[in-house]
Amino acid sequence: EAVVSLLICFIRKGEDTCDLYATPGQSLTLPFAYERLTNSHILEWVHNNKTIFYRKGKVSSGKPEDITSNGSLVLKKIELSSQGIYQVHVLHPSGTSAKTWTGRLCVLDKVSKPQLSYTCDFSSMAVNLNCHVTKPEGLVFSWMLDKETLKSETKQILSISLIHLKGERSFTCDVANKVSKASSDKVRPTCPPLLSFKRQTVMAVLAGGGGLILFLLFVIVGFIFMFWFCRSLS
């Protein structure tokens, strides 16, 4: 059972591995070549276990213009349905194998331009930058501070200490997949100075404390007034 499970895992891993990548609408010549190919050879191309080209002297399946002189297959205006396993078999006139090739094509959409935003988080003394993009699954993120790539930062959200934001610092984020790459516009975070923030916080606390003291003062004065008023009546 262990051997069977290992074999299944290996097969699944192979099924998930892409040898070639393309985008919808693109044209692609599959990387196969048999330089000694002649019209006497048998040439067959298979896509997902279905024959899409067959030639034995004459073409009986597919289009001759989709095949190069060395036997490669040209895919025109690729669609999502174009992805999958491609196999080619070249046979000698005697029926023996001359050359074979197998490869898996994956079709991916181009990434959209990311939108970069930020928030100032004084509780953690940092600015948090978010690289917004549709369908972020499977994308590779990278960041640039001014003109320097932050090699260790590969997540969608970047946190930078406010201490490192002295002066005007510009950030950009890049997103990429196997077929395309896109960059955001530059963003220059501007957060209130730490001293200003602390001063505002202190003033707010003092203002709140002053209001409480004033309220207590009114209560005490009122209590003293009532005390003397009652005493004068008696």
Q: Give the tens place of pLDDT for each residue, 204-227.
A: 444 555 555 556 666 675 666 566
Q: What are phi and psi of 185, to 5 degrees?
A: -70, 160
Q: What are phi and psi of 136, to 5 degrees?
A: -75, -10
- Strands 20-22 vs 97-107: parallel, antiparallel or unpaired: parallel
| Spans of the chain, pLDDT less than 70 | 1-16, 194-219, 221-234
When divided into structural domains, the chain yields a total of 2
**The Cα angle at residue 45 between residues 43 and 49, in degrees rounded to 5:** 135
65 lies in a domain? Answer: yes
Which residues have a Cβ under 8 Å from the Cβ of 76 and sit 6 or more positions away? Answer: 27, 66
Model pTM score: 0.68
Q: Is 51 helix (H, G, I), strand (E, B) or coil?
A: strand
User: To the nearest 5 percent, what fractions of the chain are helix, strand and coil?
Assistant: 25, 35, 40
Residue at a domain's end among 71, 89, 107: 107
126 lies in a domain? Answer: yes
> What's the pLDDT at 15?
53
pLDDT tens column, 49-89: 999 999 999 999 999 999 999 999 999 999 999 999 999 99
The answer to whether residues 66 and 132 belong to one domain is no
Percent of the chain with pLDDT over 70: 76
- Containing domain of residue 151, as a range? 115-193
Which amino acid appears at position 176 of this protein? A
- Asked if 186 and 113 count as a contact pair (C-beta separation under 8 A), the reply is no
